[in-house]
C-alpha cells in the first residue's frame, strides 16, 4: 500500500448534529478526523480517517512544552444547488508549509493534503450546514509529538484535520464591530513568528483581548512590535482603510499574517479598478485622516468573519467613529462578492473554489 493511501474507519456512533441556530464558532465537532504520522525513517505516512476522539499524547511531547506546532483555518460551503466547495485551499496549504518552514516542521505534500481534506469533508458532508452564513470550518494542524524535554525540533509529528460546523463569527453578523487599538502589548515582531500560523502568537494575544473585551470591544488592533506606531492587523483579521477613495492596507512585513482573504480582497479591488495600496501606515496618520473627514471606511478580512466593518476605533482615550458606525460601501461589496463566490451564487472568475461534492 502506498504511503499516500488513506485508510478509513467509519464512526459507528455518529453524534447528533446541532441545529443551525445553535452554531456559534468552533463549539461542535464532526464524526471523523484525519491523521497522518511523521517520523524520520518513513517521512509522512499512514494517512487515515478515523472516528473523532481524544488523542493520546506523551506528557513530555514537545508541543506541550515548547509549542512547536502550526495550524490553518478554511471553510467548506454548501451552495444553493447543494454542492459543497472549499475556498482557495491551495493558499492555506501553501501558508501551512511556510509556517512549517518557520517552525522547523517537515513540509507536507500540499496537493495530497487538499485531497485528504476533501475526502474528510466528503465523508462528513452531512455536517456542512445549509442556513445562511453558516459553513463547516476546517482546522488542519501539525503537532510535535516526540517525548523530549530538550529545546530542539521534534523527530516525530502528527498532521491532523478536524471539522466544526459554524455560524457567523461575530454575533453582530456583518454589522460593524468596535475595535480597540492596543498600546501596551504586542503580538509579534519582525524576525519572530508573526507571519507563521502558530499557537504561541495566539496565546500571547489573549491578555490584551481579555482586557478590551470587558469594555465591549470585539478585538484589538495590533501595532508593530518595535515602535508601537505602525498598524499591523486585528486579532484574527487583516485590516483595510478607505482614505480619500483609496484603499490602504499594511504591507506584509514579516510580522503580519498573510491572510487568504486579504489576498482575495486585493485581487477583487484591482479587478474593480479601485485603487489599493500596501504600505506602512501609522495610527497617527490614520487619526489625522479621521480628523479631516478623510477616513471613509475601515474593515477587517479573515476566513472566520469574511469582511468585518469597523464602526469604532478606540485609541488613546479617543473614540473614532468611522462612517457613522455603519457598514461602508466597499466593505459591503466585498462581503457580498466573496460570500457570493464562496456559496456559489456568484461567478468565480478567479477559479477560487474547489469542489468537494458535485
Ligand atoms: C492573526 C491573523 N491575521 C489574519 C487572519 C486572516 O487570514 P485568512 O484570511 O487567511 O483567514 C487570521 C486568520 O487566519 C489570523 O489569525
Express each pLDDT in 188-230 by its tens digit: 999 999 999 999 999 999 999 999 998 889 899 999 999 999 9
Count how many Cα atoms sit within 13 Å of the Cα of residue 169 in the half-sphere of its side chain: 22
Could you tell me where the beta strands, DSSP code E, fall in the chain?
Answer: 7-8, 32-39, 43-51, 69-71, 74-78, 84-87, 135-144, 157-166, 177-181, 219-223, 231-234, 238-243, 246-250, 276-279, 295-302, 306-315, 318-321, 353-357
The set of cell numbers assigned to 10 is: 467509519
Q: Are 140 and 94 in contact (CB under 8 A)?
A: no
The set of cell numbers assigned to 144 is: 510535535
Predicted confidence at residue 169, as pLDDT, reads 65
Determine the topology of domain 177-343 in CATH: D-amino Acid Aminotransferase; Chain A, domain 2 (3.20.10)
pLDDT, mean of residues 41-56: 97
Does the C-beta of 302 come closer than 6 Å to ligand 1? Answer: yes
Instruction: Please give the Cα distance from 224 to 205 (Å, whole number).
Output: 13
Q: Of all protein residues, whose CA lies closest to atom 16 belonging to ligand 1?
A: 236
Predicted confidence at residue 357, as pLDDT, reads 79
What is the pLDDT confidence band of residue 154, given thresholds at 50, 70 and 90? very high
The set of cell numbers assigned to 347 is: 461567478
Does the C-beta of 237 come closer than 6 Å to ligand 1? Answer: yes
Please give the distance, rounded to the nearest whole angstrom, from the Cα atom of residue 67 to the centre of ligand 1: 19
Examine the pLDDT at 1 and tell me if it is beyond 60.
Answer: no
pLDDT, mean of residues 343-349: 95
pLDDT, tens digit (0-9, with 9 covering 90-100), for 300-332: 999 998 999 999 999 999 999 999 999 999 999
pLDDT, mean of residues 73-84: 96
Predicted confidence at residue 261, as pLDDT, reads 98
pLDDT, mean of residues 98-126: 98
Predicted confidence at residue 4, as pLDDT, reads 80
Predicted confidence at residue 231, as pLDDT, reads 98
pLDDT, tens digit (0-9, with 9 covering 90-100), for 232-244: 999 899 999 999 9
Q: Where are the domains of the chain?
A: 7-166, 177-343
Predicted confidence at residue 247, as pLDDT, reads 98
What is the pLDDT confidence band of residue 358, given thresholds at 50, 70 and 90? confident
Top mutation candidate among 71, 73, 192, 234 for ligand 1, by most atoms within 8 Å of CB? 73
For residue 283, give the DSSP letter.
H
Predicted confidence at residue 173, as pLDDT, reads 54
Minimum-distance ligand 1 atom for the alpha carbon of 303: 11
pLDDT, tens digit (0-9, with 9 covering 90-100), for 247-291: 999 999 999 999 999 999 999 999 999 999 999 999 999 999 999
Q: Given 3.30.470.10, 1.10.3470.10, 3.30.1360.120, 3.30.1490.20, which CATH number is that of 7-166?
A: 3.30.470.10
Predicted confidence at residue 132, as pLDDT, reads 84
What is the pLDDT confidence band of residue 58, given thresholds at 50, 70 and 90? very high
Predicted confidence at residue 171, as pLDDT, reads 56
DSSP characters over 185-246? --S--TTTTTTS--HHHHHTTHHHHHHHHTTT-SEEEEEPTTTS-BEEEETTBEEEEEETTE
Amino acid at each position: 500500500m502506498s504511503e499516500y493511501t488513506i485508510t478509513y474507519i467509519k464512526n459507528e456512533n455518529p453524534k447528533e448534529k446541532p441545529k443551525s441556530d445553535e452554531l456559534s464558532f468552533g463549539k461542535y465537532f464532526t464524526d471523523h478526523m484525519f491523521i497522518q504520522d511523521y517520523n524520520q525513517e518513513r517521512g509522512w505516512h499512514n494517512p487515515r480517517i478515523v472516528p473523532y476522539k481524544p488523542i493520546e499524547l506523551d506528557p513530555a511531547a514537545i508541543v506541550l512544552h515548547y509549542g512547536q506546532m502550526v495550524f490553518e483555518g478554511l471553510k467548506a460551503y454548501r451552495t444553493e444547488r447543494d454542492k459543497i466547495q472549499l475556498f482557495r485551499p491551495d493558499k492555506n496549504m501553501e501558508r501551512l508549509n511556510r509556517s512549517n518552514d518557520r517552525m522547523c516542521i517537515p513540509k507536507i505534500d500540499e496537493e495530497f493534503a487538499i485531497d485528504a481534506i476533501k475526502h474528510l469533508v466528503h465523508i462528513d458532508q452531512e455536517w456542512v450546514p445549509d442556513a445562511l452564513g453558516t459553513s463547516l470550518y476546517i482546522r488542519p494542524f501539525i503537532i510535535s509529538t516526540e517525548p523530549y524535554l530538550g529545546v530542539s525540533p521534534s523527530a516525530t509529528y502528527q498532521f491532523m484535520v478536524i471539522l466544526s460546523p459554524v455560524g457567523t463569527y461575530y454575533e453582530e453578523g456583518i454589522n460593524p464591530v468596535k475595535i480597540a487599538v492596543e498600546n501596551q502589548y504586542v503580538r509579534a515582531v519582525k524576525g519572530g513568528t508573526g507571519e507563521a500560523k502558530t499557537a504561541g502568537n495566539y496565546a500571547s494575544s489573549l491578555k490584551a483581548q481579555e482586557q478590551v473585551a470587558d469594555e465591549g470591544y470585539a478585538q484589538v488592533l495590533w501595532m508593530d512590535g518595535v515602535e508601537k506606531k505602525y498598524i499591523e492587523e486585528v486579532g484574527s483579521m487583516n485590516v483595510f482603510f478607505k482614505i480619500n477613495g483609496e484603499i490602504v492596507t499594511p504591507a506584509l512585513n514579516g510580522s503580519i499574517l498573510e491572510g487568504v482573504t486579504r489576498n482575495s480582497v486585493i485581487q477583487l479591488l484591482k479587478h474593480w479598478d479601485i485603487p489599493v495600496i500596501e504600505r506602512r501606515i501609522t495610527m497617527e496618520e490614520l487619526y489625522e485622516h479621521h480628523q479631516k473627514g478623510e477616513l471613509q471606511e475601515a474593515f477587517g478580512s479573515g476566513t472566520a468573519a469574511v469582511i468585518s466593518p469597523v464602526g469604532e476605533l478606540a485609541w488613546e482615550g479617543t473614540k473614532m467613529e468611522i462612517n457613522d458606525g455603519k457598514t461602508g460601501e466597499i466593505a459591503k461589496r466585498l462581503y457580498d462578492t466573496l460570500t457570493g463566490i464562496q456559496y456559489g451564487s456568484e461567478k468565480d472568475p478567479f477559479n477560487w473554489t474547489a469542489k468537494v461534492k458535485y
